[in-house]
Amino acid sequence: MGQSGISERTDGLGSEGPVPAETVGRQRAIAAFASASGAWLDDALTKLGDAIPEALPVRGPEVGLVMLRGRIGGGGSPFNLGEATVTRASVRLSSGEVGHAIVLGRDTAKAGIAAHLDALWQRDDWRDRIEANVVGPAIAAEAAADRVLAEETAATRVDFFTMARGED
């Protein structure tokens, strides 16, 4: 990231080139909200206190489907793999910020809470609290779960070898 607060996008998710640092931070926060469980997000929102600005629904929560696409070998032609259920929601705070969320599954409460947290994250006076109390812990919990899964997978690893006969 340069001095101007601009970072380069190289993730292949749209146009390549400069992306404002705030956009990258918001994408990180939205991903953290989506990866956390609905109950965990509800608990985190409750722990933020009583002075949380109210969020009014703009859209949804709505349950729908998205088409999953795949490629063979990473370079083959894309093909339709199947569909996944998603829930989306949009909310607006009284101060004007609009928060959005799309989560896997049919958890309408989780989508609403994630959209509310996204809207709060956009406010300068709430961003640090959301980062410290929701985004950071959600990312840490996901990393810990990934480590446990990697350890469980490694424990079941089997190394095969072939012994050559000396007659050949």
In a domain, 130, yes or no: yes
pLDDT at 25: 81
Query: Any bridge partners for residue 88, and if so which?
Result: 62, 102
Confidence of residue 15 (pLDDT cuts 50, 70, 90): low
In a domain, 145, yes or no: no
Query: Any bridge partners for residue 101, and if so which?
Result: 89
3-class SS of residue 14: coil
DSSP 133: I
For the residues 158-166, what does the mean pLDDT come to? Answer: 75
For residue 7, pLDDT over 70 is answered with no
Q: Which domain holds residue 30?
A: 6-138
CA distance linking residue 119 with residue 101, whole number of Å: 10
Q: Do 138 and 36 touch, CB atoms closer than 8 A? A: yes
In a domain, 118, yes or no: yes
Confidence of residue 2 (pLDDT cuts 50, 70, 90): very low
* pLDDT tens profile 75-93: 788 899 999 999 999 999 9
In a domain, 100, yes or no: yes
CA distance linking residue 21 with residue 1, whole number of Å: 8
Candidates 59, 132, 131; CA nearest to 91 is: 59
In a domain, 159, yes or no: no
In a domain, 161, yes or no: no
* pLDDT tens profile 110-158: 999 999 999 998 888 888 888 888 888 888 988 998 899 998 898 888 8
In a domain, 39, yes or no: yes
Total number of domains constituting the chain: 1
Q: Do 90 and 35 touch, CB atoms closer than 8 A? A: no
pLDDT at 100: 93
Contacts of 87 (CB under 8 A, 6+ apart): 60, 61, 62, 63, 64, 102, 103, 105, 106, 107, 108, 110, 111
Can you give the length of the chain in residues? 168
In a domain, 148, yes or no: no
CA distance linking residue 120 with residue 114, whole number of Å: 10
